[in-house]
């Protein structure tokens, strides 16, 4: 099974985690909501799959390009 890394598009803090490991997700589903510069930025699933791992916690600071979720499928 292929593993897909989903990363943050910009430096941000993790505001809300919407996906939990094992959950089935469809392309376009919101996995995580980041907050940067007073804006909420959803991180969406690039394709259908299953959430293998959530690599961040709410309140964490992430860097641009940092992997936040691993998907399988």
Partner 1 sequence: MLGPVLIANRGEIACRIAASCRRLGLRSIAVFSDADATAMHVVAADAAERIGPPPPRESYLSIPAILDAARRSGARMVHPGYGFLSENAAFARACTEAGLAFIGPSAAAIEAMGGKAAAKAVARRAGVAAVPGYDGEDQSPERLAAEAAAIGYPVMIKAVAGGGGRGMRRAETAETFAAALAGAKREAAAFGDGRVLIEKLVASARHVEVQILADAHGTVLHLGERDCSLQRRNQKLVEESPAPGIDPALRAELGRRAVALARAVDYVGAGTVEFVADAGGPLSADRIWFIEMNTRLQVEHPVTEMVTGLDLVEWQLRIAAGERLPFAQADLAPRGHAVEARLCAEDPARNFLPSPGTIAALALPEPGDGLRIDAGVRSGDTLTPFYDSMIAKVIAHAPSRAEALERLAAALDRCAAEGIRINAAFLARALRSAEMQAGAVDTHLLERLRSREAAARSVA
Minimum distance from CB of 10 to partner 1 (Å)? 6
Strands (E), the chain: 3-7, 12-17, 24-25, 30-36, 39-44, 49-54, 61-62, 67-72
Among 1, 2, 39, 57, indicate the residue that binds partner 1 (CB under 8 A): 39
Binding mask 44-63 for partner 1 (x = CB under 8 A): -----------------x--
Q: Contact, 40 vs 15, CB < 8 A?
A: yes
Among 3, 35, 58, 72, binds partner 1 (CB under 8 A): 35
């Amino acid at each position: 099974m292929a593993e897909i890394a989903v990363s943050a598009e910009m430096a941000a803090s993790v505001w809300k985690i919407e996906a939990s490991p094992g959950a089935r997700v469809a392309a376009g589903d919101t996995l995580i909501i980041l907050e940067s510069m007073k804006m909420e930025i959803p991180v969406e699933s690039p394709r259908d799959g299953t959430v293998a791992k959530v690599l961040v916690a709410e309140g964490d600071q992430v860097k641009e390009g940092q992997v936040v979720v691993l998907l399988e499928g």
